[in-house]
Structure 1
Amino acid sequence: MRGPMSDTHADRENGSYDVIVLGAGPVGQNVADRARAAGLGVAVVERELVGGECSYWACVPSKALLRPVIAVADARRVDGAREAVTGRLGTGGVFGRRNRYVTDWDDSGQAAFVTSLGADLFRGLGRLDGPRRVTVTGDDGTTHHLTARHAVALATGSRPVLPDIPGMAEARPWTNRQGTDSSTVPARLAVVGGGGVGVEMATLWQGLGSQVSLLARRPLLPRMEPFAGELVADGLAKAGADVRIGAEVAALHRPDPRGPVTLTLADGSRLEADEVMFATGRAPRTDDIGLETVGLTPGSWLDVDTTCLVAGVEGAWLYAVGDVNHRALLTHQGKYQGRTAGDAMAARAAGRPLDDAPWGDHATTADQHAVPQVFFTDPEAAAVGLSAEQAVRAGHRTKSVDVDFTAAQGANLYADGYRGKARMVVDLDREVLLGVTFVGPGVSELLHSATVAVAAEVPLKRLRHAIACFPTVSEIWLFLLAAYERG
C-alpha cells in the first residue's frame, strides 16, 4: 500500500485517490480539509449543493431569519428602546438577508473552497461499489469509477421523515426546507413537532407575522432539562402562538391545492391552517449509496467506533461522520467528528499509532460527554453535557444546582424583567460538571464557557477562580457556584 503522499496526476486520471468523501457539506469538507493537510489525495462527491443541508436549508438560513425576530424582541425588553420599535418586521429585508447568507442557493463559492484544498470535486450520486470503490453518476448520465487506497467517508447527512398519516400527500406539507427557503408568510401555520426544529420554526414564523399553532405530543425540547421546554413554550405563548402539548395529528385534508389544510387531531378536534410543517424526526441518507455492496443495510444509521470507523466492515477503511452515525445531529458536532476522522485516516495511512484513548487526538470523546446545543428561540435554550435525569441514569452520584437569572445584575441590565434559569449538574465524587443548561435571552454566548468546563472537567475549586466580568449575563456562573457551596 502506497503512503499518504502517493497522490499523482496519473492516479487521479485513473480515478485513484487516498480518500473519497461522499457528501460536501460542512462535515465532509472538514474530512477533506484534514486529509489534504496530511498530504492525502482526496475526491469529494456531492449530489446536491456543495455546502449541504446546513448551508442552504438548516443552520445558516434559519439563523439568518431568526436573528431579526430576536433582535426586535430584545429591543422590546429594554425601556427606551421599545418605544423606538414600531410596525412589523420588514419581511422583504428578512428574506433578502437570508438570501445573502445562502448566496441565493449558488454553491460556486463553496465548490471553489473544496477545490482550493486540492481536492477533486465530483457532482452526482456517489454509491459504494464494493470495498474502497465508489461509482459517481452525474445528472447527465456520465459515470466516474473511483477507488480509495485508504478510506471512504460517508458524510451524506439526514433527511426529514414524514409520519404515516392519512392525507399526507394531499396536504403537501412543509419540512425544514420549505420552512427556511419560503419567501411567503402564511397567515396561519401549523408546526407539528416540539424538538429543536419545531420550536425554532414556530418562533421564526410567529415573529414574521403568521398565526402559529405548535402541536407536540410531548413537552417541548424533551432532551433538555424540563424547565427549558417550559420557558420556551411560555415565550411562544406570550408572542401569540397557540402551543398545544399532548396534541397528535391523526389525519390531514386539503382538497384544493391552493386552499387551506385541515388537521384532524387524535382527540377529534380540528385545526385549519394555510400551511402545515412537520418537524417530527430525521432519517439517514444512506438508502441509495450502495451499503448493500459492503454488507450493510441500506437506509440504516451506521454504528461507528471512537474514530468513526463503521462497525462490521473489514479492513478499517469505511468511516461514517455526522448525522449518518446518529450520535448527535448537529453540524458543529459533525464537523468535530470530521476533523477527528480525517486525522485518524492520515495516521492509519502513514502507519502511525492511533491516539484513540478518551480525549485523544483520534477519539470523538465529546460525542458522549460534552455535546453543546443551542436553540435560537425566545428565550434561547442552550445546554451541554448531561441533564440531571441523564446523569442519574448513567450511574453518577449528582447534585443539581438551579439559579434564576434575576440573581445576576448583568442579566437585569441586559433586559428589563429578564426571565431565565440556569442549572449545573455536579458529579459529587469528582466535583466536576457533568452538564450545564441556560435558558434566557442571549444565553447562547454563555455556552462555550460551559462546554470548556464540562469537556476539560475543570474542578469546581478551580472554576470559582474564573471571574465573570461585572455587569454581564455571565455573572450567573458566580451564583451557580455560590449556591453549590452553600449546599
Structure 2
Amino acid sequence: MNETTRTYDVIVIGAGPVGENVAERARAAGLSTVIVERELLGGECSFRARDASKALLRPVVARADARRVPGLAQAVAGPLDAGAVLAHRDKMASYRKDEDRADRLNSVSVDLIRGHGRLDGPRRVRVETPDGGTITLSARHAVVVSTGTHAAVPALPGLDTVRAWTSREATSADKVPGRLAVVGGGVVAVEMATAWQALGSQVTMLVLEDGLLQRMESFAGRLVTDGLREAGVDVRFTTSVARLARENGEVRIALADGGHLVADEILFATGRAPNTWDLGLETIGLTPGDWLKVDDTFRVTGVADGWFYAVGDVNQRALLTHQGTYQARIAGAVIGARAGGEVVDDTLWGTHVATADHMAVPQVVFAHPEVASVGMTTHDAVGFGHRIKVVDYDLAHVAGAHEYAEEYRGQARMLIDLDRDTVAGVTFAGPGVTELLYSATVAVAGEVPIDRLWHAVPAFPTIGEIWLRLLETHRG
C-alpha cells in the first residue's frame, strides 16, 4: 500500500462517540474502516460536554435532593467543595487525554488517522497530518461525516475583547468566577447556571425569550425558573445584550433596554452551528457551513450515487449524544447492508430507518428540579395536526415522590394520540424524574396501547406510580 494513498470500504470523518460508533458498526459488518480526527478522540461530548457537565451537575443535584429530606438536610448544609468537584470533573473527562479511545479503536480493527480531513471530490478525503504530510483516502462504499457542532455566538460590538465563554469554557474552567452572566435560556444555559451558582458564582441569566426551555412543555420552564431563583440566580426575561467590553478584568455588559451589568465572565449559550465550513463540501456540490440534510437512512440528500452519509449533530435532527449514537448504529448497519447487496429495511421502526428521530427522542435537563421528556410536546402535536388528549398530574400527589422531598413540587404530562390510543409524548419535571424516562421512552417508541399500559403495575411506593395516576386520570 502506498504510504500516502489508501483505500478503504468506509471512511469516517470525526471521532466523537457518534463517529466511533458508526466506525465500529461498519467494521463489525466486515468492512475495512478508517476514522479521521483532528482533535481528541471522543470529541466535544467526552471532554467538554456530556461527561464534564454531568460531573459538575451531579453533586449540585444530589445536594439539592438531600436538602429536601428530613434528617439529612442539616448534614449537607455547607457549601460544595468546588476544588473537589472540578478535580472530579477532570477525572471524568479523562484529563482530556484520549489514549484509551485509540486503544479501543485498535481493539476492533478500525484504523485511525490523526489530522484534518476534507472531502476532495466523490468518495475521496484528503487528510493533512500534524507532521505536515498529506494522506489521500478513497472509499469503496461510503464516506461518513460526524463532525458535530460548535457554539453559535451572536456578532456583538466588543465581543472580541471579552474572551467570552461558550459551553467549552463553561465545562472546563479551572476556577469559579465570582460573577457569571449567562446569555440564553435553553438546556446549556440552565445547566451551567445551575452548576456555577452552586459552586459559588453569583449568576445572572439574560434570556431573550419570556421563559426558559422554550422547546419543552411550559410548566417545565416555570418550575426550573422557580428553582433557579430560589437558589439565588437572577433570571431576567426578554433581555438582550447590545455591546460588551472588558475593562480592568471585568466584563461590562450593555443591555438593549439601556441597563448595564458587570461580570467576571460571560457565557453565551445561544445555539449551535455545524462544523462543515472547512470540510470540502464544495468539491461535491454542497455549501460549506450548511447543515447536512439526510434521509432516514442518513444518506445526505442531493449527492449522486448515495455514498455520502452524515450522522449526529451535523445533520440537525436531534443534537443529543445518545440520539447521535442511535443514528450511528443505524447508519453502520445500513452501510453494511448496502455494501453486501442486502435489502434495506426502511419500513417504520425498521432495522435501517431512524423512526425514533421523529417520534421518540428522549432528553434530560439536569437542574433542580430535573426535567425529563420524550416524544412530542403539546405544541408539537397541535402543530402537526394530531388529535391528542393532554393528561396532567401533580407529582406531589404520588406517594413515592415524597421519598425525594417532604414538600415535593413537580408535574407530569402525558399526551395520548386519540386516533391510535397510544402515548405520543411524556414530560416530567421534579426531583428524581430522570428515573422515569426510560419507561416513558419504551411506551412511546413501543407504541404501547393505553389498554395494555394499564396492566403495567408500578411498585408501591415508588415515583413510578405516576404512570398509574396518569392512566386513572385519563380514564376518569
Query: Could you list the runs of 4 or more consecutive aligned residues of structure 1 that deviate by over 6 angstroms after TM superposition?
Result: none
1:454 aligns with 2:441: no
Correspondence for 1:82 = 73
1:17 aligns with 2:3: no
> Contact between 2:33 and 2:111, CA under 8 Å: does it hold in 1?
yes
Correspondence for 1:239 = 231
Aligned Cα RMSD in Å? 1.1
Correspondence for 2:90 = 99
Q: 1:172 deviation in Å?
A: 1.0
**1:117 counterpart (71, 89, 108):** 108
Q: Secondary structure of 1:283's partner?
A: strand
1:430-483 Cα deviation digits (max 9, x unpaired): 110110000011111210110110011100100011111111111111111111
Correspondence for 2:403 = 413
Whole-Å separation in 1 of the counterparts to 2:434 and 2:440: 11
Correspondence for 1:476 = 466
Question: Residue 392 of structure 2 aligns to which amino acid in structure 1?
Answer: D
Q: 1:413 deviation in Å?
A: 2.1
Correspondence for 1:36 = 27
Correspondence for 1:173 = 164
Q: 1:114 deviation in Å?
A: 1.4
1:220-259 Cα deviation digits (max 9, x unpaired): 1111000111110110000000001111111111133xx1
> Contact between 1:132 and 1:149, CA under 8 Å: does it hold in 2?
yes
Pairs within 5 Å for 1:321-360:
321-360=311-350
1:149 aligns with 2:133: no
Correspondence for 2:453 = 463
**2:279 counterpart (289, 301, 304):** 289
**2:38 counterpart (47, 61, 70):** 47
Question: Residue 221 of structure 2 aligns to which amino acid in structure 1?
Answer: G
Q: 1:13 deviation in Å?
A: 8.3
Change (3 A) 1:11 1:474: farther
Q: 1:269 deviation in Å?
A: 0.5
Aligned length: 475
> Contact between 2:180 and 2:264, CA under 8 Å: does it hold in 1?
yes
1:263 aligns with 2:223: no
TM-score if structure 2 supplies the norm length? 0.98
> Contact between 1:170 and 1:255, CA under 8 Å: does it hold in 2?
no
Correspondence for 2:215 = 223
Q: 1:214 deviation in Å?
A: 0.9
Q: Secondary structure of 1:223's partner?
A: coil
Q: Secondary structure of 2:415's partner?
A: strand
In structure 1, the gaps of 5 or more residues are 1-9
Question: Residue 324 of structure 1 aligns to which amino acid in structure 2?
Answer: V
Q: 1:316 deviation in Å?
A: 1.1
Whole-Å separation in 1 of the counterparts to 2:324 and 2:366: 19
> Contact between 2:164 and 2:266, CA under 8 Å: does it hold in 1?
yes
> Contact between 1:170 and 1:253, CA under 8 Å: does it hold in 2?
yes
Correspondence for 2:48 = 57
Identical-pair percentage: 58
Whole-Å separation in 2 of the counterparts to 1:135 and 1:19: 14
Q: 1:12 deviation in Å?
A: 9.2
Whole-Å separation in 2 of the counterparts to 1:94 and 1:263: 29
Question: Residue 147 of structure 2 aligns to which amino acid in structure 1?
Answer: T
Question: Residue 75 of structure 2 aligns to which amino acid in structure 1?
Answer: A
Q: Secondary structure of 1:200's partner?
A: helix
Change (3 A) 1:261 1:13: closer
Whole-Å separation in 2 of the counterparts to 1:174 and 1:360: 42
Pairs within 5 Å for 1:179-190:
179-190=170-181
Correspondence for 1:4 = none
Whole-Å separation in 2 of the counterparts to 1:413 and 1:344: 45
Whole-Å separation in 2 of the counterparts to 1:22 and 1:66: 31
> Contact between 2:67 and 2:77, CA under 8 Å: does it hold in 1?
no
1:154-177 Cα deviation digits (max 9, x unpaired): 000000011011110111100001
> Contact between 1:372 and 1:385, CA under 8 Å: does it hold in 2?
yes
Pairs within 5 Å for 1:357-376:
357-376=347-366
> Contact between 1:11 and 1:17, CA under 8 Å: does it hold in 2?
no
Question: Residue 465 of structure 1 aligns to which amino acid in structure 2?
Answer: H
1:198-231 Cα deviation digits (max 9, x unpaired): 0000000001010100111111111100011111
Question: Residue 226 of structure 2 aligns to which amino acid in structure 1?
Answer: D
Whole-Å separation in 2 of the counterparts to 1:449 and 1:395: 26
Whole-Å separation in 2 of the counterparts to 1:107 and 1:485: 53
Q: 1:11 deviation in Å?
A: 8.9
Question: Residue 225 of structure 2 aligns to which amino acid in structure 1?
Answer: A
Whole-Å separation in 1 of the counterparts to 2:33 and 2:244: 47
Q: 1:407 deviation in Å?
A: 1.2
Q: Secondary structure of 1:31's partner?
A: helix
TM-score if structure 1 supplies the norm length? 0.96
1:436 aligns with 2:433: no
> Contact between 2:5 and 2:135, CA under 8 Å: does it hold in 1?
no
Question: Residue 369 of structure 1 aligns to which amino acid in structure 2?
Answer: M
Change (3 A) 1:432 1:12: farther
Whole-Å separation in 2 of the counterparts to 1:12 and 1:480: 63
1:348-374 Cα deviation digits (max 9, x unpaired): 000101001111000011111111110
Q: Secondary structure of 1:17's partner?
A: strand
Correspondence for 1:422 = 412
Whole-Å separation in 2 of the counterparts to 1:407 and 1:288: 54
Q: 1:59 deviation in Å?
A: 0.6
Whole-Å separation in 2 of the counterparts to 1:329 and 1:23: 15
Q: 1:86 deviation in Å?
A: 3.4
Question: Residue 229 of structure 1 aligns to which amino acid in structure 2?
Answer: G
> Contact between 2:4 and 2:135, CA under 8 Å: does it hold in 1?
no
